[in-house]
């Protein structure tokens, strides 16, 4: 039942992304990695998912990010088969904010950007903040608007949920209100 709720949450999030497009747009066509390097990576088509080295995050955060992007990728492939998505990658993953006491929990927030590789860029209608890079990587929502929420549990961080926000940032009143809504 818990897995079913996660899948439903993913579907709702994707629906919100596509319904709310048009509010904010960020040009993500730079092709640069978070550290500013402009390097191209060859991806084995049999190896699904790519995460560049160098993200300064704990292993449990990276594992949760991979799981979330893989689930979003699978949902997008099923919902949009004409888009020809063949692979996914995490383009950015960084610490963003800590709530020291929210609902009697210490919550740590990480910002993430992910992309899907397409074989059919001509079939993708860009809307809102979506972009396609020169080498056919697609950000299907708003760049850098996915936040992973973790509860600090001793020296370990436990993944709770993800939230998509393109009009506010962690620590602001609007983000905090939305976060409280999904945690209850």
Could you identify the residue written with the tokens 């990276």? 62
**Confidence check: pLDDT of 182 > 70:** yes
User: What is the count of structural domains for the chain?
Assistant: 1
**Confidence check: pLDDT of 152 > 90:** yes
Q: What is the pLDDT of residue 35?
A: 43
pTM: 0.74
53 band by pLDDT with thresholds 50, 70 and 90 = confident
Residues 70-100: tens digit of each pLDDT: 999 999 999 999 999 999 999 999 999 999 9
Tokens of 68: 């979330």
Q: Which residues pair with 92 in a beta bridge?
A: 113
In whole angstroms, what is the distance from residue 62 CA to residue 20 CA?
Answer: 27
Q: What is the pLDDT of residue 58?
A: 93
User: By CB neighbour count within 10 A (0-12 exposed, 13-18 middle, 19+ buried), where does 91 fall?
Assistant: buried
**Which residue range(s) make up the domain with 57?**
2-183
Q: Single out the residue of 141, 140, 158 nearest to residue 149, CA to CA.
A: 158
In whole angstroms, what is the distance from residue 55 CA to residue 177 CA?
Answer: 28
């Amino acid at each position: 039942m818990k897995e079913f709720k996660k899948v439903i949450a993913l579907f709702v999030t994707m629906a919100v992304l596509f319904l709310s497009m048009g509010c904010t747009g960020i040009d993500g066509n730079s092709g640069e990695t978070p550290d500013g390097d402009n390097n191209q990576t060859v991806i084995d088509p049999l190896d699904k998912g790519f995460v560049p080295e160098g993200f300064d995050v704990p292993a449990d955060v990276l594992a949760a990010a991979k799981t979330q992007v893989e689930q979003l990728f699978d949902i997008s492939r099923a919902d949009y088969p004409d888009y020809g998505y063949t692979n996914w990658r995490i383009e950015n993953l960084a610490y963003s904010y800590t709530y020291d006491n929210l609902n009697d929990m210490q919550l740590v927030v990480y910002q993430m950007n992910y992309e899907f590789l397409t074989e059919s860029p001509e079939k993708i209608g860009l809307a809102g903040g979506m972009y396609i890079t020169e080498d056919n990587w697609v950000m299907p929502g708003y760049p850098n608007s996915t936040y992973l929420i973790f509860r600090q549990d001793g020296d370990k961080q436990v993944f709770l949920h993800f939230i998509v926000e393109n009009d506010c940032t962690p620590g602001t009143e609007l983000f905090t209100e939305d976060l409280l809504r999904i945690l209850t």
